[in-house]
Structure 1
Amino acid sequence: KSSDYKKEQNSLIEKDQLVKIKLDKSRIRHYEGTPDGERMKELGEISLRMVKILLENGSFEVLATNLSQTEFHTEEIKELYHMRWGIETAYETLKSRLQLENFTGTKPILLLQDIYSTIYLSNLVEDIILDAERELDQKEANRKHKMMINQTVSIGILKNDLIYILLETDGQKKNMLFQQIYEDISKNLVPIRPDRHYTRTKGQLAGKYSNTHKRAY
């Protein structure tokens, strides 16, 4: 974050340089009494490579890495940072749209049940969307904007209807139900508008989900 190692970030002279991180008491106190804390006291300082990259919106982002300049030069670090964005959005989907952290209980087995079922649902949604968008690309070639399936609506459809497929014992009916879900998801299209950006919300946010008011699904 921009608030991490602020002194070291402000001391940057070049856009890509090695920086000494002093492991003083303020940085060690959170790890006091742990093996990590003892190791930090032993080392006293560590070296981190800090890379300052220019974002498309004109602002700068400072990345900290232990990858050497011989392994990846500055532009490659920037490319790697961009490539990881797909992973970030996948976590955002799990945490926000699928409410992964909105657990239905507090026992370990219930937590694992919620995690596995949510990831199963996420993978299933992505598979359906991928197939539907491939089919869409073949059919729709003359639109002004390239179209994509609305992920949020797709999740809602699958969350509501998946249980009926899982409970159905007749194979033919099961396939019919799944085909209906596929068709419903395929209808919800949104255009892809290049270079559209949204302001990111920064700062520490309170927990979203109450431990005393649980979702039914």
Structure 2
Amino acid sequence: MTNITSLSFVALDISDDNYLSWVQYVKLHLGSKKLSDTIKAENKSTAEENFISIIFLRHHMHEDLKSEYLEVEDPFILWENLNDGFDHQKLVYLPAAENDWANLRFQDFKSVRAYSSALFKISSRLIMCGEKVTEKRKIDKTLSNFHPNNINLAEMYMERKFTKFGDLLSTLLIAEQNHESVIKNHQSRPTGSAPLPEVNNMSFQQNVRGKGYRGG
């Protein structure tokens, strides 16, 4: 029997603000319990599986929603009712997510991690709205928004024909780390600030003394 004494994730709010993320969490958790079919049409789930599923769904719903759908005992019907009532969120959030994606530029971030964090957040919102965000789409988005001063670097990465965004991300992180190391080394000892080697300095002083002696 599934343990539902505590919430596995935030309950579906009456305002429907978290509906899209709630749907993803429910799918993942029901899948982990092998109960995904209970929210599909014409499924062959057993009575026990349906009971476990609907109890789980109710447990992760606002109290007012529980009261509203109190008479519904089939998890699929409950799932469809919630979908009919809240799925309009996609129409609200999709344009905003698409706008954020369109304005996302690699050159606007101070670090690779800050950029990748923003990209993943926007990608998640697009996916929750039913959009596909492929590896190629993430790669193309990143390489097409390098700063003009780094256009040659972007072209070099394009020639490597990355197929996984994670591989490109790792390459960018390594390049950033190497660049930071060079900058730190330069700042700790700027060009021309290194002391003369001791042996050369001694030879120089001896030569000066020698020349002074001969000149006397």
The structure with the largest helix share of the pair is 2
TM over 0.5, yes or no? no
Q: Report the TM-score when normalising by structure 2.
A: 0.24
Larger Rg: 2
The structure with the largest strand share of the pair is 1
